Amino acid sequence: MFFHIVLERNMQLHPRYFGRNLRDNLVSKLMKDVEGTCSGRHGFVVAVTGIENVGKGLIRDGTGFVTFPVKYQCVVFRPFKGEILEAVVTMVNKMGFFAEAGPVQIFVSNHLIPDDMEFQSGDIPNYTTSDGSVKIQKDSEVRLKIIGTRVDATEIFCIGTIKDDFLGVINDPTAI
């Protein structure tokens, strides 16, 4: 799920950026630092959308770096148990397949793949129904449901299922 929230961060800025463009430099550095990171608490930071306020800078003794407390608005993505996501399959093996929904990686084990889909090893490993009408392989798009998340301080990993109504392949790359 996506959230638009306000976060705070202490930015350290090198003295060479001091000048007229200090603020612009600060913002661009913030974006570079923050976007794409993951915190267990808030999820993945997708984009910084604005700066709420920049506090007074504090010059560090010895280094000359300045620390600015910056409050910024950003969009975060945090997967939840029970959430339905659309994801792209990145890797298929006999244990199941891995998929990615944006920054988050999801594993679907073979017990959570419908019983009528069988693993086919070979050049392109895939899961196929007995009549061959549905195929899951690399780059397939699937709709899946998250049934478990593992949240570490800097990492979120999910397991999902496609064994439910309206889940499964939504776009087959070979059919295009």
CA atoms within 13 A on the CB side of 148: 7
Contact characters 92-131, another protein, x per CB under 8 A: -xxxx-x------x-x-xxxx------------x------
Closest to another protein by CB, 67 vs 110, is 110
In the numeric block, which tokens belong to residue 172? 């087959």
Single out the segment in contact with another protein by CB under 8 A; choices: 17-25, 41-49, 57-65, 144-152: 144-152
Smallest CA-to-CA distance from 41 within 149, 148, 146, 147 is with 149
> Which ranges of 38-104 does DSSP label H, i.e. alpha helix?
none
Least Å distance, CB 117 to another protein, is: 14
Q: What is the DSSP string of 123-145?
A: SS-EEEETTSS-EE-TT-EEEEE
> Which residue from 148, 170, 171, 174 is in contact with another protein, where contact means CB under 8 A?
148
Q: Is 139 in the site for another protein (CB under 8 A)?
A: no
> For residue 34, how many C-alpha atoms fall within 13 Å in the half-sphere facing its CB?
29
CA dist., res. 159 & res. 96, Å (int)? 11
* Positions in 57-96 near another protein (CB under 8 A): 91, 93-96
Residues forming contacts to another protein in the complex (CB under 8 A) are: 91, 93-96, 98, 105, 107, 109-112, 125, 147-148, 150, 157, 159, 161, 163-164
